[in-house]
Amino acid sequence: MDYTIEYSSDSGTTWATFTDGTSTTASTTVTGLSHSTTYTFRISAVNVAGTGTASATASVATATTAGAPTSLTATQGVAQVALAWTAPVADGGAALTDYTIEYSSDSGTTWATFTDGTSTTASTTVTGLSHSTTYTFRVSAVNAAGTGTTSDNASVATATTTAGAPTSLTATQGVAEVALAWTAPVSDGGATITDYTVEYSSDSGTTWTTFTDGTSTTASTTVTGLSHSTTYTFRISAVNAAGTGTASDTASASTATTPGVPTNLTASATSGVDYSIDLAWTAPSDDGGSSLTDYIIEWQFVWDDDWWTVGASDLTRDSMTDTSVTVRNLYSGGYVHVFRVTAINAVDEHGGDPSSTANGTPTGL
């Protein structure tokens, strides 16, 4: 009405009985054995008369730890390394349940275990590593008997260092802004460039301000919000996963200023038209870095100190930037009028310095 199960770990010199309850089933699983050990077994049937003759013996070894994984490779990444390997030829008699991944930054003197959960996939990516550091890796297979023999080592340096310096920086004058362009650095440090840091200084590089222009890998930008008539110095640094790299050489540009002075102003009575004066002048040689948008035309009597601005309704011209106009509706003829002209660009509605004066006497009663 039962079977007696006995096992021996010393080739039958001594025997232990496996307690599995009472059963007439002609099979059982002997548990609680040691790993990597050869056991000998025998079975005896039991009835009301007692325990019968034991069976012939059968021997088998319990599972051992798995062999070593092979063909381990390590591929550089940004603060990480991708590993791949081949499963061990021998699983030790038990299915593999996991791999233990270890890494060392001191050539194998000390090891740390990478926590990547449980997986029997023969590859993984070790993350959280330092930049620009050489790591050594090894892999061990795990089965029910424990952790097996480690693989041969594989080493690789993580990317990256910070990127090199951008080159060929140019700065082009604008109105309260400067357009910059540059060339990407020759070395990206082993990781893709993700942004550029743009800095500017109004004190020749003693102090720097970072221009906030969002994230972009375009090798150009326009720095806005600058002051008029100010010289700025600029520098650019490339950014990758390792951080901000070396700054470029500097480039400087002045933001637009007010225009120069119109020259060669002349004033003459308009032929056949009373109370009008024809003015003509030469545009300033320097527009201040911004296209001219208008001219302010002023007049006064020759004996007066006050200047009067000529309104648009009293001017005859085709364009606001014409350098010859007719001023109409002046005072009675015979009075000497004094004129001056000031150029305007986008920097300042009041323009730069006025021209030299020119006198004209309109005709009329």
All domains of the chain in start order, with CATH: 2-61 (2.60.40.10), 70-157 (2.60.40.10), 167-254 (2.60.40.10), 263-360 (2.60.40.10)
Sign of CA dihedral 346, 348, 349, 351: negative
Residue % of the chain over a pLDDT of 70: 100
| Residue 89 to residues 52, 66, 124, 139, 168, Cα–Cα distance (Å) | 44, 8, 20, 14, 57
Mean per-residue pLDDT over the chain, rounded: 92
pLDDT band at 365 (very low <50, low <70, confident <90, very high): low
**pTM of the predicted protein model:** 0.58
What one-letter code names the amino acid at 158? T
d(CA 63, CA 93): 5
% of the chain residues with pLDDT over 90: 64
* Residues 248, 196 contacting (CB under 8 angstroms): no
Residue at 17: amino acid letter = T
pLDDT exceeds 80 at position 34: no
How many C-beta neighbours within 10 Å does residue 57 have? 14
Which residues fall within 8 angstroms of residue 344, CB to CB, at 6 or more apart?
A: 259, 292, 293, 294, 295, 296, 350, 351
Point out the least confidently predicted range of 120-124, 158-162, 236-240, 355-359.
Answer: 158-162
Q: Which two tokens stand for residue 217?
A: 């890998």
State residue 298's pLDDT score. Answer: 97
More confident residue, 204 or 158: 204
> How many angstroms separate the CA atoms of 100 and 111, rounded?
12
Using 50, 70 and 90 to split pLDDT, how confident is the model at 20? confident
pLDDT attached to residue 88:
94
| 7-22 mean pLDDT | 88
In which residue are the tokens 């001017």 written?
315
224 contact partners, CB below 8 Å, separation of at least 6? 176, 177
Indicate whether 348 pLDDT > 80: yes
Q: How far apart are the first and last CA of the chain?
A: 149
pLDDT at 231: 95
Tokens coding 152: 């041969």
Q: Cα 186 to the chain's mean position, in Å?
A: 16
Cis previous bond, 62, omega within 30: no
- Asked whether the predicted pLDDT for residue 262 surpasses 90, the reply is yes
